[in-house]
């Protein structure tokens, strides 16, 4: 499980462009839960995700994954617990390496890398089998450079790569945002299938309220670096986008009123 | 061109094939513009020459030269990774630092190796001329180095180095300690260059402080010439291309300097190098332009 407690992070502190990205954010995700995270631009979604992955170190607070304190660890030292798919389809794979080499790289995530051959014959069958489930014909192109694939194909392979090794949390950072609507839909279906099959604990950041309610079992809304809405179960299943939008506006309105009071 | 000067060109070409393999690792695989080479080549030479002239076994001297080169590469990597100095600048700092270090190691500007044992005269059979045997032994060493690199970069560790150069953010997300991989890759790269320095002093009759000048340009020229002859992103082809590039490059230099009718002299070497690299860089662009026209 993931446990983030009172995270605080300020960019450019003490300067005119100071931004308080996280303001005491706390969130717990139990094992096996699929959480979607929404919020407006600057709400702290990506910053929070980067804090969990280790790309950003927080000023205050703590991050535990499976009871392991990750707060001060670099990205590579969290990778045995954390799998990640980036927003940019080009970012999640190495374009100079072949499809099988990329998969082998992910297959070693969290293990010590030794001097045995990276792409093992006994693993090729596994890679081929997983790629075949995509229905894109990639199972016959194992030695092709991954740079030859389209963005959607690369994103699909990134998802397979994330599920090759067991992880305690899968982080999806608006991973369908850079794709055309049809491909985005395909990647989203694939996400739901993989998460379901492997019972992955997942946190998906999205800008689409529709997506946030369609997949997963719990939705969290961030605003000004804090969790302002947390719905799951029956309450969530009865919600539609207009309800969510309404709550979103209410939250922003109330916050504005708060600020107005403070300033007044 | 006589057989003697032809074999001489092949001999130097093979030595610089080792440099080119090292430069290929830093520039192409790690994408680390590394000028340490200009210092680690004479460093390997200095260590080897000092050890041989003080009576050490030439094989051990060669091994020590390789280790010295590797250490120099690691220091450059460390300046970049730990002290966050820009890659190119870190390597320039290391390069000039090594100039002083090399003078200290040699205790003077040069060390001659005239009648001292070398790995070449130790193994040379009676019936074979030295100018024939030297390129032969070098060929064996270069092929061994090439095959060893092909294997290494197909291992889990080697793949992690390639991923670090190709997409460091992704590599970290897969649990690769990218800083450590840069240090390791730079060690392998400059270790090869140190080995080349040791080969150079054992074939050319000694070590000299100025022998490193322009090593990086020659290494890079070999890589670029090789890539335009045999373009491939697969490691086994790329390493072969780099070796061929080094030999072809030295061959053209020898041909240019040996043809009386062009009127080139030894002092024109660097100009010829610059022109050759320019041609090698332009050819792929021309090819692309021509292939686009029906």
B162 vs A117: CB contact, 8 Å cut-off? Answer: no
The reported pLDDT for the residue numbered A81 is 94
Q: Measure B65 CA to nearest chain A CA, in Å.
A: 24
A108 vs B158: CB contact, 8 Å cut-off? Answer: no
The reported pLDDT for the residue numbered A254 is 64
Token duo for residue A13: 């502190």
The reported pLDDT for the residue numbered A261 is 46
The reported pLDDT for the residue numbered A264 is 36
Residue B241 included in any domain: no
Q: How confident is the model at residue A110 (pLDDT cuts 50, 70, 90)?
A: confident
Residue B195 included in any domain: yes
pLDDT at position B164 over 60: yes
The reported pLDDT for the residue numbered B212 is 92
Lowest mean pLDDT among A183-197, B53-67, B150-164: A183-197
pLDDT at position B284 over 80: no
Instruction: State the average pLDDT over residues B48-65.
Output: 97
pLDDT at position B287 over 80: no
b/e sequence B185-202, b meaning 16+ C-beta within 10 Å: bbbbbbbbbbbbbbbbbb
Residue B83 included in any domain: yes
B262 versus A225: which is more confidently predicted?
A225
> How far is it, in rounded angstroms, from Cα A43 to Cα A34?
20
> How far is it, in rounded angstroms, from Cα B246 to Cα B219?
7
Instruction: Give B179-188 pLDDT, tens digit per residue.
Output: 999 999 999 9
The reported pLDDT for the residue numbered B281 is 75
The reported pLDDT for the residue numbered A66 is 92
Question: Taking the model in full, what pTM does it have?
Answer: 0.91
A105 vs B173: CB contact, 8 Å cut-off? Answer: no
pLDDT at position B261 over 70: no
Q: Measure A79 CA to nearest chain B CA, in Å.
A: 5
B170 vs A93: CB contact, 8 Å cut-off? Answer: yes
pLDDT at position B259 over 70: yes
Q: Which helix (H) or strand (E) holds A183?
A: helix A181-198
Q: Residue B175: which of A76, A116, A117 has the nearest Cβ?
A: A76
Residue B148 included in any domain: yes
Domain containing B66: what range? 3-211
A74 vs B172: CB contact, 8 Å cut-off? Answer: yes
Residue in B with minimal Cα distance to A88: B170
Residue B168 included in any domain: yes
The reported pLDDT for the residue numbered A36 is 95
The reported pLDDT for the residue numbered B241 is 97
Q: Which of B153, B156, B169 is best to mutate for the A interface (most A CBs within 10 A)?
A: B156
Chain pair A-B, CB pairs under 8 angstroms: 92
Q: Which of B31, B150, B159, B173 is best to mutate for the A interface (most A CBs within 10 A)?
A: B173
In this structure, are residues B164 and B176 in contact, taking their beta carbons and an 8 Å threshold?
Answer: yes
The reported pLDDT for the residue numbered B173 is 95
The reported pLDDT for the residue numbered A262 is 47
In this structure, are residues A138 and A161 in contact, taking their beta carbons and an 8 Å threshold?
Answer: no
Q: Measure B51 CA to nearest chain A CA, in Å.
A: 32
- Indicate the domain borders of chain A: 2-94+169-263
Residue in B with minimal Cα distance to A165: B174
Instruction: State the average pLDDT over residues B94-103.
Output: 97
Q: Which is it for the CA torsion A47, A51, A52, A55, positive or negative?
A: positive
> How far is it, in rounded angstroms, from Cα A81 to Cα B175?
10
Q: If one looks up domain A2-94+169-263 in CATH, what number appears? A: 3.40.50.300
Residue B115 included in any domain: yes
Contact list in B for residue A146 (CB cut-off 8 A) is none
Instruction: Give B101-140 pLDDT, tens digit per residue.
Output: 999 999 999 999 989 999 999 999 988 888 999 999 999 9
Name the nearest CA neighbour of B106 among B171, B191, B43: B43
Residue B292 included in any domain: no
Name the nearest CA neighbour of A96 among B155, B17, B171: B171
The reported pLDDT for the residue numbered B271 is 83
List residues of chain A with CB under 8 Å from any CB of chain B.
53, 55, 74-77, 79-80, 82, 84, 86, 91-97, 101, 104-106, 108-111, 113-119, 145
Residue in A with minimal Cα distance to B174: A109
Secondary structure (3-state) at A19: strand
Lowest mean pLDDT among A31-35, A231-235, B260-264, B283-287: B260-264
For chain A, give the mean pLDDT: 91
CA dihedral (B131, B137, B142, B147) in degrees, to 10, reads 150
> How far is it, in rounded angstroms, from Cα A187 to Cα A181?
10
CA dihedral (B160, A192, A180, A160) in degrees, to 10, reads 20
The reported pLDDT for the residue numbered B161 is 98
The reported pLDDT for the residue numbered A250 is 80
> How far is it, in rounded angstroms, from Cα B199 to Cα B118?
9
Q: Residue B172: which of A75, A97, A111 has the nearest Cβ?
A: A75
pLDDT at position A167 over 50: yes
Question: Residue B84 — left, alpha, or beta (φ > 0 → left; ψ -120 to 50 → alpha)?
Answer: left
């Amino acid at each position: 499980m993931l446990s983030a407690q009172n995270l605080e992070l300020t960019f450019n502190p003490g300067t005119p462009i100071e931004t308080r990205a996280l303001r005491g954010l706390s969130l717990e995700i139990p094992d096996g839960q699929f959480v979607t995270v929404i919020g407006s631009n600057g709400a702290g979604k990506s910053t929070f995700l980067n804090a969990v992955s280790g790309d950003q170190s927080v000023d205050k607070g703590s991050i535990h994954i499976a009871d392991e304190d990750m707060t001060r660890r670099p990205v590579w030292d969290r990778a045995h617990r954390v799998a990640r798919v980036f927003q940019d389809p080009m970012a999640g794979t190495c374009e100079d390496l072949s499809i099988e080499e990329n998969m082998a790289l992910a297959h070693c995530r969290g293990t010590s890398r030794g001097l045995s051959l990276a792409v093992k014959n006994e693993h090729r069958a596994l890679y081929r089998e997983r790629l075949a489930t995509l229905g894109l014909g990639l199972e016959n192109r194992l030695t092709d450079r991954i740079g030859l694939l389209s963005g959607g194909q690369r994103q699909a392979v990134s998802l397979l790569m994330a599920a090759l090794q067991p992880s305690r949390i899968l982080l999806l950072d608006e991973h369908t945002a850079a794709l055309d609507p049809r491909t985005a839909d395909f990647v989203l279906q694939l996400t739901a299938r993989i998460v379901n099959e492997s019972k992955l604990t997942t946190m998906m950041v999205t800008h689409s309220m529709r997506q946030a309610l369609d997949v997963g079992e719990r939705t969290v809304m961030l605003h000004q670096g804090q969790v302002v809405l947390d719905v799951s179960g029956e309450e969530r299943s009865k919600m539609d986008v207009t309800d969510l939008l309404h709550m979103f506006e209410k939250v922003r309105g109330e916050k504005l009123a708060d600020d107005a009071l403070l300033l007044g | 061109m006589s057989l003697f000067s032809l074999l001489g060109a092949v001999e130097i070409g093979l030595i610089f094939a080792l440099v080119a393999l090292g430069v290929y690792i830093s520039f192409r695989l790690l994408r680390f513009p590394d000028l340490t080479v200009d210092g680690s080549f004479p460093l390997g030479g200095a260590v080897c020459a000092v050890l041989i002239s003080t009576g050490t076994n030439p094989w051990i001297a060669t091994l020590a030269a390789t280790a010295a080169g590797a250490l120099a590469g690691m220091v450059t990597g460390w300046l970049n990774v730990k002290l966050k100095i820009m890659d190119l600048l870190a390597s320039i700092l290391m390069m000039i630092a090594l100039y002083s270090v090399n003078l200290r190691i040699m205790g003077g500007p040069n060390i001659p190796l005239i009648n001292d044992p070398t790995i070449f005269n130790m193994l040379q059979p009676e019936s074979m001329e030295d100018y024939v045997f030297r390129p032969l032994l070098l060929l064996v060493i270069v092929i061994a180095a090439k095959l060893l690199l092909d294997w290494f970069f197909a291992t889990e560790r080697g793949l992690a180095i390639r991923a670090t150069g190709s997409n460091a953010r992704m590599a970290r997300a897969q649990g690769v300690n990218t800083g450590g991989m840069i240090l390791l890759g730079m060690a392998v790269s400059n270790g090869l260059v140190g080995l080349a320095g040791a080969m150079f002093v054992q074939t050319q009759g000694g070590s000299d402080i100025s022998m490193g000048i322009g090593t990086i340009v020659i290494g890079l020229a070999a890589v670029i010439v090789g890539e335009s002859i045999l373009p491939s992103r697969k490691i086994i082809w790329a390493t072969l291309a780099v070796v061929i590039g080094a030999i072809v490059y030295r061959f053209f230099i020898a041909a240019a300097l040996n043809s009386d009718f062009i009127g080139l002299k030894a002092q024109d070497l660097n100009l010829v190098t610059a022109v050759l690299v320019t041609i090698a860089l332009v050819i792929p662009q021309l090819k692309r332009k021509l292939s686009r026209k029906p």
